[in-house]
Structure 1
């Protein structure tokens, strides 16, 4: 694809940005509500969303799990792996822990940055023990979030 054509395909106007902001805030917002918000027809909004999906501006939709009481505990666990990045066993095991909401591969001293959201400190402790006991995990450092001041999910 010619560079100029590619740039045109990825151009977003103010209405596109407003649609993206609304979908980022609530991916389940009805098309009719979006259409009223941006002063377009439902069909025009649908076409814009379809185009942004095609152009990979919108790469997918996801579920954000809540907790029944709203008292979730979030922590980051930095993991140092024995194999220093060569095996997939630790990441595979982490993917099976439902409270692991994110896992990033890092450069530097630690290999993985694991974000965990649990329903309680007790459950967080159990998850930490599970992670620390995984074959291939050499060391962990865990920090518990005291307060969330910015959340752009």
Structure 2
């Protein structure tokens, strides 16, 4: 799939990328403000925003509440190993735990990754135990977030599309570029 086509089949041109970068800078900006900042006509901005929503490029407008404002300043990731016969039961039980903000099914050794919040370390222990006791969960491992070092962002992806017309070729395995690196990352 080319870089300028989304998984939903929508093509992104330079105007789309410029408008989306402007929107990323100020998600609450009005159509008129976006048009002014992106150097586009108001009608162009309005029709493109409608297309982005229709094509699934933009998620529904929402305001994310900081869990710390709700008395849950501690964030952690809980990985869980599941009994493969009880995945649906485990997910249903996890969905009932208020401190589980979101859950992912990754590739690899872990079956589920859950982002959780808690009041303090003792509360995190309680939440982790509640997760561990869910039907179908065999083992859990908890990693506490000490601080966020890179916030969620898409700006660099958008800017990449504005500065390049074609993706840079990637070195092939076993080719001339690969000869400088030996197995396990050791240089020759």
Normalising to structure 2: TM-score of the pair?
0.64
Partner SS, residue 87 of structure 2 = coil
Tell me the CA shift for residue 28 of structure 1. Answer: 3.1
Unaligned runs of 5+ in 1: 1-6
How far is 1:100 from its partner?
A: 1.9
**What SS does the corresponding residue of 1:141 show, helix, strand or coil?**
strand
Residues 86 and 133 (structure 1 numbering): CA distance in 2 closer, same or farther, change over 3 Å? closer
Q: Describe the superposition over 1:36-62 as per-residue Cα deviations: whole angstroms up to 9, x where unpaired.
A: 211223332111111122233224444
RMSD across aligned C-alpha pairs, in angstroms?
Answer: 2.7
- Segments of structure 2 that go 5 or more residues without pairing to the other structure are 154-188
Distance in 2 (alpha carbons) for counterparts of 1:131 and 1:47? 45
| Residues 111 and 152 of structure 1, relative CA distance in 2, 3 Å threshold | same
Q: What residue number does 2:129 align with?
A: 129
- Deviation of 1:77 after TM superposition, in Å, equals 0.6
Length-normalised TM-score, structure 1 = 0.76
Shift >6 Å, 4+ stretches: none
Aligned residues, how many? Answer: 145
In structure 1, distance between residues paired with 2:94 and 2:57: 28
Q: In 2 relative to 1, CA 53–117 (structure 1 residues): closer, same or farther, beyond 3 Å?
A: same
Describe how 1:70-85 pairs up with structure 2 within 5 A. 72-81=73-82, 83-84=83-84
